[in-house]
Amino acid sequence: MELEVRHLRALCAIADTGSLHKAARQLGMSQPSLTTQLRRIENALGAELFARGRTGCRPTALGRSVLTRARPLVDGMAALVTETRAEAARADGPRLRVGSTASRALPGWLRRLRARFPGTDVGLRVDVSARTLLREVAAGRLDVAFVHEVEGSPLHVPEGLEHRLLVAREPQFVSLSPAHPAAARPVVDLADLARDHWMVDPAVDGEWDGLRRVLTAAGIDPPLLHGDYHTAASLIALGEAVAPCQPTSVPREDLAVRPLRGDPLAVRLLLYARPTTPLTPLHATLAEAYREAAHRAPPYRAWLHAGGTAPPCLSGTDAGRAGRH
């Protein structure tokens, strides 16, 4: 087998994520397919490139040597594609390539960006991994990235990126079945969920560690499930699980959203771009969109009205208005 750029890209993804599961999701393929591909690469080179263990995959000494040579090739190919696409885009008109982790503020932000920059083709890429999006910005494949950073789990930010803070500490609420006994109360104690299955997506940077740290600090050790949040919503509706959620989440008939007492779970919301991208108008439109999303979420409005610490984009009259809607 001859090595191709896609094989080198797979090796870099495994090294960057430390996990075959996360790397497979990043590459858009199944974990068994990636495992088979890695085995073929190692067979072609005649040596083991990664040590597999319970905590993930780590490069061997030879693996680190291969990665040192592979990364410039992968980056060079990515730059070639990016620069070619950019040149083609300039002929077709201006473009703004937006990256984001999941957020209820996204629809309003895109709407405002298209109104603020008429004639600009505004594209969107959503990814569960903030680190992946930041690397895409650093490599020039995205112009801006709106990401969240789990409290206690700092993001690794590539050099040369600039940022603007949107929310210094956004509380994370909990989603649970409306039939759950704790859903009858406006605020939920962690202890009330000690026997529930908590579901978390391990591909979301820092979320698994952040939740485990908070549960341990609360002195509880509930069973944990791994899965994406689309699956989680189905299990929650059936009363089979609970899960952290954004405060801008809107309740449904089959899903309740409640704040946690003391707000033990939280994230920072940040906007990143290269120095050549003007952040001020992007940040201003995002703040407006976030405010709109917060106003539309009854649990978040109630939390603010009850005295929750409002982020700057909801401070002053905005916070009060959110409480009265």
d(CA 214, CA 96): 38
Lookup result for tokens 């909801």: 314
Model confidence at 196: pLDDT above 60: yes
Q: What is the pLDDT of residues 67-111, one digit of tens each?
A: 888 888 888 887 787 777 666 665 566 889 999 999 999 999 999
Which residues does residue 146 pair with via DSSP β-bridges, in sequence order? 100, 271
Check residue 204 and give its pLDDT.
87
pLDDT cut 70: percent of the chain above it? 92
Q: pLDDT class for 306, splitting at 50, 70, 90? A: confident
Nearest to 300 by CA among 321, 271, 283, 278: 321
d(CA 211, CA 189): 14
Check residue 321 and give its pLDDT.
37
d(CA 147, CA 133): 8
d(CA 100, CA 108): 13
φ, ψ of residue 192 in degrees (nearest 5): -70, -15
- Alpha helix (H) ranges present in 93-200? 106-116, 130-138
Check residue 228 and give its pLDDT.
79
Give first-to-last CA distance, the chain, whole Å: 63
Q: Looking at residues 316-325, what average pLDDT do you find?
A: 37
Q: String of b and e for 205-243 (b: at least 16 CB within 10 Å)?
A: bbbbebbebbbeebebebeebebebeebbebbbeeebbb
Q: pLDDT class for 322, splitting at 50, 70, 90? A: very low
Ranges assigned E (strand) in 14-78: 50-53, 56-59
User: What is the pLDDT of the chain when averaged over all its residues?
Assistant: 88
313, 269 contact by CB (below 8 A): no
Angle between helices 298-305 and 279-295 (to 10 degrees): 90
Model confidence at 319: pLDDT above 50: no
Q: What is the pLDDT of residues 229-268, one digit of tens each?
A: 778 888 999 999 999 999 999 888 999 999 999 999 999 9
42, 80 contact by CB (below 8 A): no
Q: Which amino acid is at 46?
A: G
Ranges assigned E (strand) in the chain: 50-53, 56-59, 95-100, 121-126, 144-150, 162-171, 173-176, 198-200, 224-226, 243-245, 256-258, 266-273
Nearest to 285 by CA among 104, 115, 93: 115
Check residue 312 and give its pLDDT.
67
d(CA 26, CA 16): 10
CA–CA–CA angle 41, 44, 46 (5° rounding): 105
